[in-house]
Amino acid sequence: MTLLDKTTVEDKTSKTQRFFKKQSKVKKNHLVEWKKSIKKNWELYLLLAPVILYFLVFHYYPLYGVQIAFKDFIATKGIMGSPWVGFKHFERFFDSYYFWRLIKNTIGIGVFTLLISFPIPIIIALLLNEVKSLRFKKFVQTVIYAPHFLSTVVVVGMLLLFLKSDGMINQIILLFGGTPIDFISEPAWFKSIYVLSDVWQTMGWSSIIYIAALAAVDPAQHEAAMIDGASKFQRIIHINIPAIMPTIVILFILNVGSVMAIGFEKVFLMQNDLNMSASDVISTFVYRSGILEAQYSFSAAVGLFNSIINFILLIMVNKIAKKVSDTSLW
């Protein structure tokens, strides 16, 4: 090795050592700042501790059990003692007779719910924001918020009473000379009943965040627009909607990220043997496989697949939103 080569190697070594020393100092500085921050704001960290503990115990710790999706879980052997089988359960699900039906129903209900239930709270918030009578506004808010506090069981019970063969809706149809419809047992009606009842129950409560965002709009903008001759509709389009657009984008990303997370309780309560072709979704299939048939590994694999799809959708929509509107979750 020549003298020049030795000098080059020594220079590179010294640069590497300086780099690592610099990184070590930066880490120490961050650690010192973090300790100072905890000492200064310990009350805030104390308030935050129960929330962090909740997520660690109920959301992160259970992830340890996800590995049974890749094993043939045997209760007597435990998670670690059960044999590893790789993607066997995923392949079984992909090759199953029910796969495409479950995917079609889950995506169908999720997308239908997103298309109908997402814009309606925005429209309600924009309309309520234009109401001048405070008494009337509070009355409308009370009426549309109330369904949110009804349990899923009560809502489904109401649907069964109103939509059964001799229920109120069919009595009205008969009154006008029509033929009664078996709404509950007819597969073609399941998605519409599920989504529309969900809109009725959640639209008022979901509009609260948009109403709060509209309250932050500067009244001076509306006054200037009125002086320029802008109509009420033009002010809604050019002032109110752009003001709440970041909120709309964030909530849209979150809604798309849960498009396949169809609520199990409501679907299960509305489900019967006659509408199974339209009502069977991944969550109900996981319930039957995991709880009723004790196929723990298989049901864990199906549930994990569903969660991964939601995660991928969340990442994709967040990335698109960041490029298009510069608003995103991260």
Q: What is the pTM of this model?
A: 0.81
pLDDT score of 324 more than 70: yes
The predicted model gives 65-89 an average pLDDT of: 88
207: which residues sit within 8 A by CB, 6+ positions away? Answer: 121, 122, 124, 125, 128, 144
pLDDT score of 167 more than 90: no
Q: How many CA atoms lie within 13 A of 178 on its CB side?
A: 11
C-alpha triplet 265, 270, 272: angle, nearest 5° = 120
Which of the four pLDDT bands, split at 50, 70 and 90, describes residue 328?
confident
The predicted model gives 245-258 an average pLDDT of: 89
Which of the four pLDDT bands, split at 50, 70 and 90, describes residue 27?
low
Which of the four pLDDT bands, split at 50, 70 and 90, describes residue 294?
confident
Please tell me the predicted confidence (pLDDT) of residue 21: 62
Q: CA 12 to CA 311: how far, in whole Å?
A: 43
Domain at 85-322: CATH code: 1.10.3720.10
